[in-house]
Amino acid sequence: MTTRKPVRHFTVHHGGVTIPVSRGGRGRPLVLCPGLNSTQADLHELAGLLRHDHDVVTFDLRGHGLASAADGQYSFDTFLSDLVAVLAELGRLGLPSAPVLVGYSLGADLAVHYASEHPDAVAGLVLIDGANPLPEPFITDADLAEFRAMAEELATRQEAERAGGSARQVLLTAQDIHGLNLEMDVVRSKILDRYRRIGHPISMIMSTSIAGDGGEGRAPRHNQLWRAGIDRLVRERPHLSTSWLDADHRLVFTHAPEIAEIIRIAHPAGGPTS
């Protein structure tokens, strides 16, 4: 039996923030990018499963986990700069081959943007419940009050983690979270053009009920819109691989073994896929 390499930890400094990075496992390189309101500690189950046959790198975005807070506003571009800095450091350390980028939620959008701008620096993408080229905004005027309330509830729940300096803490305020959710609608309205610049294999792992399985309120519209966005992407990129899991947006936590298996099939340890 092949012994896995121990997990090693180091820090990337850039733009006034410090980004903690962990690397462990053996096999083809894979970089796991968390999403908004999630940390590398939250993704420990998926990372552990993937490390059986991949050299897995995880990290925290600014304001998340053990990373430092942003010096100014949080935005999609500043989070993208964190991913760019981590991958630049990995390049300096000398990866044996270009990594597969695995992004969850916002992390999926970051992965698509990075791959569209650095096509020679990645081997493929696995996008988990994010980077969806929605045909219309996810958050309309009718949704604003609900999403503000969700952001406030989330920020309140995170206060306990912040008080303890936990590896699962998120330093963003309710206003930060709500503003980023609105920004993501704008990012996704333009992301189809980013896909057109990527020639590497792309695997989508999507939830069937991103807004939950309730049949009342706004949830049915959001679930239908989520599928419509992927249908739109598949028409544009018919060779793209799509897997739907019977789950909500927490699928990366509730269905880690299934997700790990999908990734292993798409990007086996033995080498690149065609």
Which residues does 164 contact at the CB level (< 8 Å), separation at least 6? none
Q: Could you tell me which residues are beta bridge partners of residue 22?
A: 9, 58
Domain assignment present for 248 = yes
pLDDT of 57: 97
Mean pLDDT (the chain, rounded): 92
Which residues does 62 contact at the CB level (< 8 Å), separation at least 6? 17, 19, 68, 69, 70, 74, 78, 79, 82
Domain assignment present for 84 = yes
Whole-angstrom distance, CA of residue 182 vs CA of residue 94: 37
* Residue span of the structural domain in which 86 resides: 8-135+189-266
pLDDT of 272: 44
Which burial class, exposed, middle or buried, applies to 267 when counting CB atoms under 10 A from its CB (0-12, 13-18, 19+)? buried
pLDDT of 274: 31
Find the range with the poorest average confidence among 102-111, 191-200, 215-224.
Answer: 215-224
pLDDT tens per residue, range 211-228: 988 777 789 999 999 999
- Asked whether residue 270 carries a pLDDT value surpassing 70, the answer given is no
Domain count for the chain: 1
pLDDT tens per residue, range 126-146: 999 999 999 999 999 999 999
Domain assignment present for 38 = yes
User: For residue 247, what is the DSSP state?
Assistant: S
| Confidence category of residue 273, pLDDT binned at 50, 70, 90 | very low
pLDDT tens per residue, range 1-35: 455 678 999 999 999 999 999 999 999 999 999 99
Domain assignment present for 247 = yes
What is the total residue count of the chain? 274
Domain assignment present for 153 = no
- Asked whether residue 162 carries a pLDDT value surpassing 90, the answer given is no
pLDDT of 130: 98
Nearest to 129 by CA among 237, 264, 272, 262: 262
CATH number assigned to the domain comprising residue 244: 3.40.50.1820
State the DSSP string of 62-106.
TTBTTSPPPSS---HHHHHHHHHHHHHHHHHH--SSPPEEEEETH
pLDDT of 165: 72
Whole-angstrom distance, CA of residue 167 vs CA of residue 172: 14
- Asked whether residue 154 carries a pLDDT value surpassing 50, the answer given is yes
Domain assignment present for 274 = no
Domain assignment present for 165 = no
pLDDT of 97: 92
> By the 8 A CB rule, do 12 and 19 touch?
yes
Domain assignment present for 164 = no
pLDDT of 4: 60
Tokens matching residue 52: 């059986």
